[in-house]
Chain A
Amino acid sequence: MIKLENINKIFANNFYALKDISLHVSKGELVLLKSASGGGKSTILSLIAGLSKPSSGEVLVKDERISKLPDDFASLFRRQNIGFIFQKFNLIEDLSVRDNIIVPLIPSDFDEDLIEKRVARLLQRFDLSEKKEEIVRNLSGGQQQRVVIARALINEPSIIIADEPTANLDEKLSLDFVAFLQELQNEGKTIVVATHDPLFFNLPFVDRIIEIHKGVLL
């Protein structure tokens, strides 16, 4: 499902954020990427989602060479296949909950009914129905996190990517997130979570933990 082949990612001053990384995630797997801060987790997730390109090597997602796709095609591919749960939420703060959730659908020209049906289902699922028209800025951290997840699911992607999803949550909310994660796994989604939160490392339903240190696989 997801394949990285001999990836190098080099930033300014010849800094290697990733060094010769190869890894493989199968369909339906839940994989954790683990490293200390600065280890290169976010960089790997960006490459998988086509948000950036490797300096060398190839990234294949669903057999598509996403690392070679022109920018607009990468966007389209991302829209159709990947739900991204960002570390810093990345919500559009002065839009309502509903509007934030449908952002990924806007360029697709879906019909209104379908959109509203999907939104209603997600709002219900993440206990946000009453907050539908609330401006996101005014929500609590846990509520914002749930909006982020709902937004990641609106396009019904087969791959979910989460970057330090619990970094901004207290313990209770973190546990809620873990529960969501398991639900998603049960739905058959392929999931990659970057984290250094110990909470994740002894969960029975996690399939694999990939550890990185300063851009190198351990």
Chain B
Amino acid sequence: MFLLSSILFIANSIRYELERTLNSLPPITVQKLQAGRHELISLQKLDKLLDIDGVQSAIPRYWGYYYFANAGVNFSIVGVDIFDKAYSDILHNLLENGTFGNDGMLVGQGVAKILRENYYKEYFNFVKSDGSLKQVNLAGVFDAKTSLESNDMIFMPKALVQEIFDLPQDKATDIVLQVANKDEIPNIIAKVKEIYPDSRVITKDDMRISYQNIFDYKSGLFLALFIVAIFTFFMIIYDRASGLSGNEKKEIGILKALGWRIEDILQEKFYEAFIISFFAFITALIAALSFVYLLQAPLLRDIFMGYSVLKSDFDLPFTIDFRMLSVVFFLSVPIYIAAIIIPSWRVASMDADEVMR
């Protein structure tokens, strides 16, 4: 029951994260392809993209991966326009402390941790493509609650990203389109491809599918574990239901011989089973809650989080789904009670004489 609840809690937390991540994804992302690979996209395309009917805005994004050799991990560096209201709002929400200046960066908790382990508390020296160093101040760390999505992210002003990655001034990594009407998305995609045949257009749904795939893969493992847990539980139930021990039978026989009616015996057994299973339920629940949210589910979480390049920590966000709790409850307590009551009833309806022999 403990394992069961733990798994449900983790799955739930991850599903919750996934939903949040998906909701924060841009509806349409336009990338330039060259020789089948993602290339920088020219900012000159912005105007034409904006001209497409239904496109509300077209925003260039500047991002890339920075390999942090000391820890052997990749960080995503995302350049933002600090004057862009859309971005500054999001960042404001993400921000736990610190302010975002012209020469500062905001990092996810995972990044912050690795920097700290490598003695960078206030700043970090990025190696530019010409080999020189660029010092960027650590202006703040994101709130823990948003960790899965922003854990390995570094946000900094786009000018810094351009400088560190040596991006040409007239190009961006990709362009994000916001649309007024979701139903227009297929038309917009078709138009983009018509105007710029060398583009790859990614929609939220595409992303959703690939995220979902990752999740499904993980939830496959999850399902396996879940089945094992359920199976164990039902083994126990089956064991209980398939017969009472000699002692339990004898006890029922004694009660009956002392003048207890079948209903008296079953009532007693019901209370007993209810108390036992309810306690087990509460105990398992508390154990699972502390295991998942206080201890952050050692062992189990690795299965869910997958084998990301970035083996750093992030918190499982705390969510309680009462539907899920009631599933666990109705899977355990009444079934356990039934597993006690049914065989007890069988024994109690036999002759007391027979039972006690």
* A binding-site residues for B, Cβ under 8 Å: 46, 49, 51-53, 71-72, 75-76, 78-80, 82, 84, 86, 90-92, 103-104, 106-107, 151, 155
B260 touches A75 (CB 8 A): yes
B260 touches A71 (CB 8 A): no
Q: Closest A-chain residue to B356, C-beta based?
A: A90
Find residues 332-351 in chain B having any chain A CB closer than 8 Å to their own CB. Answer: 349, 351
Q: Which 5 A-B pairs have the closest CB atoms?
A: A79-B259, A107-B264, A52-B353, A51-B353, A72-B261
Looking at the assembled complex, report how far the CB atom of A59 sits from the nearest CB atom of chain B, in whole angstroms: 13
B349 touches A71 (CB 8 A): yes
Asked if B262 lies at the interface with its beta carbon under 8 angstroms from chain A, I say yes
- A52 to B260 Cα, complex, angstroms: 15
A contact residues around B257 at 8 Å (CB)? 49, 51, 78, 84, 86, 90
B259 touches A78 (CB 8 A): yes
B contact residues around A53 at 8 Å (CB)? 351
Known: A52-B351, A53-B351, A92-B254. A104 touches B356 (CB 8 A): no
B259 touches A75 (CB 8 A): yes
- A76 to B356 Cα, complex, angstroms: 19
B contact residues around A82 at 8 Å (CB)? 259
Looking at the assembled complex, report how far the CB atom of B263 sits from the nearest CB atom of chain A, in whole angstroms: 7
Asked if B202 lies at the interface with its beta carbon under 8 angstroms from chain A, I say no
Asked if B354 lies at the interface with its beta carbon under 8 angstroms from chain A, I say yes
Asked if B256 lies at the interface with its beta carbon under 8 angstroms from chain A, I say yes
Query: Which one, A72, A76, A90, contacts B254 given CB within 8 A?
Result: A90
A contact residues around B262 at 8 Å (CB)? 71-72, 75
- A38 to B254 Cα, complex, angstroms: 22
- Give 1 or 0 for each of B202-225: 1 = CB within 8 Å of chain A CB: 000000000000000000000000
14 examples of A-B residue contacts, CB within 8 angstroms: A51-B257, A52-B352, A52-B353, A52-B354, A72-B263, A75-B260, A75-B261, A78-B259, A79-B259, A79-B260, A86-B257, A91-B254, A106-B264, A155-B259
- A76 to B250 Cα, complex, angstroms: 19
